Amino acid sequence: MAIDMAAAEYDPSSPMVMQAFYRRIFPYRPFFLWLNQDHVPSKLFTHREFAFTLAGDVYLRYNSFANADDFKREVLRLNPSRFEIGPQYTARPRDRKTLAAGALQPIRRELVFDIDMTDYDEIRTCCTDKKICRRCWGYIAAAVKVLDHGLRDTLGFKHLLWVYSGRRGIHCWISDPAALDLNDDQRKALVTFLEVIKGSKEQAKKVNVRGSKDEGDLHPFIKHALKPLGPCFTKLCLRDQECFQSERGYENLLALLPGDQQIIGRLRKKWQQSPDRSSSDKWNDLALEVDALDDKTAIGRKFIKAREDIVLQYTYPRIDAEVSKHRNHLLKSPFCVHPSTGRVCVPINPARIDEFDPETVPTVGELLKQLDNIPTDTDDKTRKGDDYEMTSLKPYVEMFQKHVDAVLRDTKGSRKAAKEESMEF
């Protein structure tokens, strides 16, 4: 009987499973501290919007809670299939009906980024649509490296939390006070600064970052990004994904070259005649053509630049810009369970992004099983700490905890400084 039920029991769409997850595993304490940035409930938590998705696609917006316990109680009562986090508003979102029109305005919010594998469909060859495998995760890994470096070294942020989205993407939450305070215009400017890949399906060349005549130098930020992206391109696009293997693949490549019909014609003919030339061979063919050009001529310079642009187009992060631009955009919370894969949205260490394998992320089913398998004689009394510590979620929660500690240290520091300053007067 128990064995028969096992499969059904751990189905993430089952309310029982989610209830058990929320009761025993979800790390409420660090979660609260992470959003609140203090031990005492502050407006960052109490005025914050939470949106719950319930079974049957019921969507409850504008929830807010007085403290972590209040939040936990409601989560257990509603038993949502997932929930999202919004901004801190000028007032408690749940009071919105009693407020004057327009009085509820978003003010502070972590700076967030969302990268989704669907945006890579045109350049990945292993999977399409909702699928993801270790191989196409390489694109995400490249994106994380560039963004992590950019956000820390270029833009000066410190508290970045990278979170697996549960299926085929990754989120980034930045909790620095300066990030929380950004208004929508500043966020928009930042996104425009970071965004390189633009254009619709019908547009072949999606990298246009050299000014109106398309012949300027790259901005230093993009130029520095090219350094790690070069090897990524060789490893990922040429060797692994074989982006230019198929006819469609190499036609896409030819469409990105400057309009020199002789060179393009030669390459096309060569590749048509020997269809088994690998992507690396084709990239070398192109390199030979470019080397033959004098780099003092206009066309020579154009080709050199075009090659850089191609590397960017195939490896530069493709962020979902709309998510980052507005403070009131909702984003799925870390440690939620993805409703269809059952995987927990766990934090990821960006330094070890290459080793990350989405397939190894614990699912809610595995976690509950691990809890069930604890010998019953270790009674509640002898057990120390939280339930999650006995599951494979433990390292992820610890990573989260460490991140939260760092955030708290910093905000406390700044608060202390502010206090001392105010004492002087």
**Among 76, 121, 156, 414, which residue sits at the site for another protein (rule: CB under 8 A)?**
156
Interaction residues for another protein, span 393-412 (CB under 8 A):
none
Nearest distance in Å: CB 321, another protein:
12
Q: Is 188 in the site for another protein (CB under 8 A)?
A: yes
Nearest distance in Å: CB 191, another protein:
8
The reply to whether 295 belongs to the active site is no
Contact (CB, 8 A) for 78 and 60: yes
Contact (CB, 8 A) for 48 and 298: no
205 class by beta-carbon count within 10 Å (0-12 exposed, 13-18 middle, 19+ buried): middle
The reply to whether 9 belongs to the active site is no
Q: Is 211 in the site for another protein (CB under 8 A)?
A: yes
State which residue, 207 or 336, has the beta carbon closest to another protein: 207
**Among 153, 247, 357, 359, which residue sits at the site for another protein (rule: CB under 8 A)?**
153
Query: Residue 316: enclosing H or E segment and its boundaries?
Result: none
Contact (CB, 8 A) for 331 and 197: no
Instruction: Please tell me the distance from the alpha carbon of residue 17 to that of residue 4, in angstroms, as a whole number.
Output: 15
C-alpha dihedral (95, 100, 104, 105), degrees to nearest 10: -170
Q: Is 239 in the site for another protein (CB under 8 A)?
A: no
Q: Is 157 in the site for another protein (CB under 8 A)?
A: yes
Among candidate residues 11, 95, 116, 386, the one labeled active-site is 116
Among candidate residues 49, 84, 148, 308, the one labeled active-site is 49
Q: Is 217 in the site for another protein (CB under 8 A)?
A: yes
Contact (CB, 8 A) for 51 and 86: yes
Q: Is 231 in the site for another protein (CB under 8 A)?
A: no
As a whole number of Å, the end-to-end CA separation of the chain is 72
Q: Is 101 in the site for another protein (CB under 8 A)?
A: no
Q: Is 103 in the site for another protein (CB under 8 A)?
A: no
Instruction: Please tell me the distance from the alpha carbon of residue 379 to that of residue 340, in angstroms, as a whole number.
Output: 34
Residue 416, helix vs strand vs coil: helix
For 290, the token pair is 């470019």
**Among 6, 66, 76, 189, which residue sits at the site for another protein (rule: CB under 8 A)?**
189
Q: Is 223 in the site for another protein (CB under 8 A)?
A: yes
Nearest distance in Å: CB 166, another protein:
31
Contact (CB, 8 A) for 237 and 314: yes
The reply to whether 110 belongs to the active site is no
| Residues with a known catalytic role | 49, 114, 116
